[in-house]
Structure 1
Amino acid sequence: MASPFFTFIQYLKYRSRGLNAHDLHSPFVFELYNKVIRKNVKEQESALRKLRKQIANSDTQIDYQDPKTGERWQTTVRKLASRVASRHSFSYFLFKLINHQQYETVLETGTSIGLNTLYMAQSQASSIWTLEGSPEIARIAKGHFEVMAHAHIHQVTGQVRDTFVPSLREAQPDLIFLDADHRSETITFYLDAIQKYSPDTQCIIIHDIHWSHDMSNSWKTIVDDPAYSLTIDLFQAGIIFPHHPMKKQHFVLKF
């Protein structure tokens, strides 16, 4: 379960450990920090912020059932976005990372209203797969995708635990962004499936790694796993480069 106090304490620890460019001795991580995390292009940011405003400020009503709890909710797109959507800085980071690493195929769990999906669709990636458990929310996102005319977005609706493996096997993504279910057991399920069905995936991003004790412990297990040669903590998310040709290393980077 999420704990704002726990997350706040974790953030203070993160800030005390976070490194910047002057502290980095890995050429790959140094370049990633300067050309992806810190680099901002005004024209890009302006266009993406405009897109975000167009999508996230809608007062369209949504009546949906939470696919994990079965509870029904009534809200608006605006309120849902304010509660669950990533901040612009993180969505923009996804866009920059895809372009910098030249990833062609991306798979995302947890479409929500489609904000991160649309940011990634603006990148050079030729195929974006996105999975959403709520049919009602998926319909809202689909409307956004159609308005933006992004034909290369492949939307999959249904319980993510059921659709993940079939989508993974078909997509064979370069980048996987996990943002649908913030529980350690689900993260373990995802990672095991990736190793089995998409072993060539180059990058895995796990959102909300400090959202709860459970997620924090899950992330620590991943960091300690020798199977993952390079891991990076941005606080909002953890990044795994499972096949990076370097001795096992972990970095905490200021974001």
Structure 2
Amino acid sequence: MTKCFYDKKKYAAYGLLKSFRRSLLKNDNFIKITDFGAGSRVFKSDKRKISAVAKNAGISERRAKLLYRLVNYLECKNVLELGTSLGIATSAMAGNKSAKLITLEGCPETANIAQQQFDKFALNNIELKIGKFEDTLEEVIGGEWREKKENRNQEAGDKKVESGEWREESGETTNSELQTTNQKLQTTNYELKKFDLVFFDGNHQKQPTLEYFHKLLPTAKNNSVFIFDDIHWSPEMEKAWEEIKNHPEVTVSIDTFYWGLIFFRKEQAKQHFNIRL
């Protein structure tokens, strides 16, 4: 409560978060939204002004600061976000440069603006994946994440993989050479099967929320935290939240009204807290 939720310290990263959000609020260009979730209560058209999306759909500056503090206080290194939108929440989590963040977005045009923002503010610790969560989650949980585009063709060259063996134009390699080359190729991938923090903000419907929760449950560690946005969005989201916090693997849950946080620490007794922030 005192060291995170109500921490009054002025972090240097707050300036980045403010500038990131302000940049979007000044952008009056239009984009076409592809929505795979519950839709919007504000917008009636899929063609929307970027500044309006940032104002109405993006998290507030206050919540962005809280999200930054959570990542900082819990020392989260591997973070996953479902629902990038324009990247305001993403920037808050990635503001802690020691964190490596994967964010998933279904709308190509929204993702494009977010990526431009990440590049503009040098947030190089973010990997943005575009597509339906059902597809991108499979890739992420599977543990294969390419580091850089320039490394993806490392296997190209004189050596080729044929029937599980490495061959050169001059003949076959030795077993030691084969092992060394395979190890080099494996360095282009990161295994991201466990996450310190997962932020669910992509689909405010009961069934998809529960499906994503159960799908990502195996990626949680003892000290992991899952954060669900808009748990009181609708009666069905409240039902989803009740089911999630009562899951046997969940020990502690916190209802902040707009966010629901769950923890998995086995050494703690099962408790539920209501904290207004």
Same fold (TM over 0.5): yes
SS in 1 for 2:273: strand
SS in 1 for 2:46: strand
1: CA distance, partners of 2:89 / 2:213 = 21
Alignment-derived partner of residue 25 in structure 1: none
Larger of the two Rg values belongs to structure: 2
CA displacement, residues 180-222 of structure 1 (integer Å, 9 cap, x when unaligned): 00111112111211223x1427110000000000001111122
Alignment-derived partner of residue 179 in structure 2: none
SS in 2 for 1:36: coil
CA displacement, residues 65-116 of structure 1 (integer Å, 9 cap, x when unaligned): 3234899611111011122111112111111011111110110010001111
* Number of residue pairs the alignment of both structures matches: 222
Alignment-derived partner of residue 247 in structure 1: 269
Specify which of 15, 27, 36 is matched with residue 67 of structure 1. Answer: 36
Tell whether the 8 Å contact from 1:210 to 1:235 is kept in structure 2 after alignment.
yes
2: CA distance, partners of 1:123 / 1:210 = 28
| 1:57 and 2:26 aligned | yes
Alignment-derived partner of residue 195 in structure 2: 173
Change (3 A) 1:157 1:103: same
Alignment-derived partner of residue 123 in structure 2: 150
- The 5 A counterparts of 1:41-56 are 41-44=9-12, 45-56=14-25
Tell whether the 8 Å contact from 1:132 to 1:138 is kept in structure 2 after alignment.
yes
1: CA distance, partners of 2:214 / 2:138 = 10
2: CA distance, partners of 1:208 / 1:199 = 21
Identity of aligned residues (%): 28
Change (3 A) 1:180 1:219: same
Alignment-derived partner of residue 76 in structure 2: 103
- The 5 A counterparts of 1:14-29 are none
2: CA distance, partners of 1:210 / 1:48 = 26
Change (3 A) 1:96 1:199: closer
Alignment-derived partner of residue 21 in structure 1: none
Compute the displacement of 1:249 (Å).
Answer: 0.5
Tell whether the 8 Å contact from 2:38 to 2:205 is kept in structure 1 after alignment.
no
Tell whether the 8 Å contact from 1:99 to 1:124 is kept in structure 2 after alignment.
no
| 1:200 and 2:168 aligned | no
Compute the displacement of 1:225 (Å).
Answer: 2.5
Higher helix share: 1
TM-score (norm 1): 0.81
1: CA distance, partners of 2:108 / 2:268 = 42
More displaced stretch, 220-229 vs 135-144: 220-229
Q: Which amino acid aligns with 1:65?
A: T
CA displacement, residues 18-65 of structure 1 (integer Å, 9 cap, x when unaligned): xxxxxxxxxxxxxxx111111122354444223321233311221233
Compute the displacement of 1:164 (Å).
Answer: 1.6
Structure 2: gaps (5+ residues)? 144-191
Q: Which amino acid aligns with 1:37?
A: F
2: CA distance, partners of 1:57 / 1:219 = 35
Q: Which amino acid aligns with 1:91?
A: A
1: CA distance, partners of 2:266 / 2:119 = 37
TM-score (norm 2): 0.75
Alignment-derived partner of residue 148 in structure 2: none
Alignment-derived partner of residue 16 in structure 1: none
CA displacement, residues 215-251 of structure 1 (integer Å, 9 cap, x when unaligned): 0111112222332111000111100112352111010
| 1:38 and 2:59 aligned | no
Alignment-derived partner of residue 204 in structure 2: 182
Tell whether the 8 Å contact from 1:105 to 1:128 is kept in structure 2 after alignment.
yes
Compute the displacement of 1:166 (Å).
Answer: 2.1
Tell whether the 8 Å contact from 2:33 to 2:109 is kept in structure 1 after alignment.
yes
Compute the displacement of 1:121 (Å).
Answer: 1.2
Alignment-derived partner of residue 104 in structure 2: 131
2: CA distance, partners of 1:187 / 1:154 = 22
Tell whether the 8 Å contact from 1:108 to 1:130 is kept in structure 2 after alignment.
yes
2: CA distance, partners of 1:72 / 1:167 = 32
Alignment-derived partner of residue 249 in structure 2: 227
Tell whether the 8 Å contact from 1:165 to 1:193 is kept in structure 2 after alignment.
no
